[in-house]
Amino acid sequence: MDDPDAMDGLEVTGCERCPALVESRSQIVNGVGEPDAELLFVGEAPGAQEDREGEPFVGRSGDVLTEALGERGVAREEIRITNCVRCRPPENRDPHVEELENCRPYLECEIDRVDPDLIVTLGKVPSEHLLDRSVAVTKEAGSVHDVRIADTSRRLLVSVHPAATLYDRSQEETFAAALDEAVSLAGVRSEGGGGGDDQSRLGEF
Ligand code: URA
């Protein structure tokens, strides 16, 4: 899928497809990072801080993600990070199906243009959205799937959302194992590096 209206390169500008989100957002939060990244992380939707700063994963869950990447020798700038939905839902509710569908062409376009070796879905919403089925994220974290996205076969790895580690310490290991797998599959490791299923409302973090 290419050229959804209002997409300039990898940036969406001025989209008004979702009236409730146009109301709740202060700005559109586009993906960030390397435009040719081998690793593309896909989250759910911007939270409050992302909405303020105009960048995905800059709140507490972003800190978890950035730190976990750093521990594996991967800088945030080397990879790409985006969301299924680019506008903050009111009160951090989950995006509605029609909002996910409205934003899908932008995500597909970004995936197409970045052409990553591996897509990592962070949490239930992006995992279910891209795999098009229900996903028990904690159970399936670390699993790798071939999935067709916009007529192209893509490799996708399921991960728990980084915010899950903030309210359930037992998810730390699950998240760490998924990231280990992601970094190794995408071959992005540079020098250095070491080492419940409630995945909704994670934008709060
Ligand atoms: N949670 C997400 O899913 N995306 C963000 O950008 C921030 C928090």
Q: Is the CB of 51 under 6 A from ligand 1?
A: no
Bridge partners (DSSP) listed for residue 118 = 39
pTM exceeds 0.85 for this model: yes
CA gap 172, 83 in Å, rounded = 21
Spacing, Cα 150 to ligand 1 middle (Å): 23
Nearest atom in ligand 1 to the alpha carbon of residue 56 is: 6
User: What is the C-alpha to C-alpha distance for residues 155 and 44, in angstroms, rounded to an integer?
Assistant: 19
The structural domains of the chain, ordered by start, are: 4-186 (3.40.470.10)
DSSP letters spanning 51-95: HHHTSSS-SHHHHHHHHHHHHTT--GGGSEEEESSSSPPGGGPPP
Cα gap 50→190, rounded to integer Å = 27
Alpha-carbon distance of 125 to 135, in angstroms, equals: 9
Find the helix or strand (DSSP H, E) in which 9 lies: none
Q: pLDDT truncated to tens, each residue of the chain (205 aa)?
A: 444 566 878 999 999 999 999 999 999 999 999 999 999 999 999 999 999 999 999 999 999 999 999 999 999 999 999 999 999 999 989 999 999 999 999 999 999 999 999 999 999 999 999 999 999 999 999 999 999 999 999 999 999 999 999 999 999 999 999 999 999 999 886 554 444 344 554 555 6
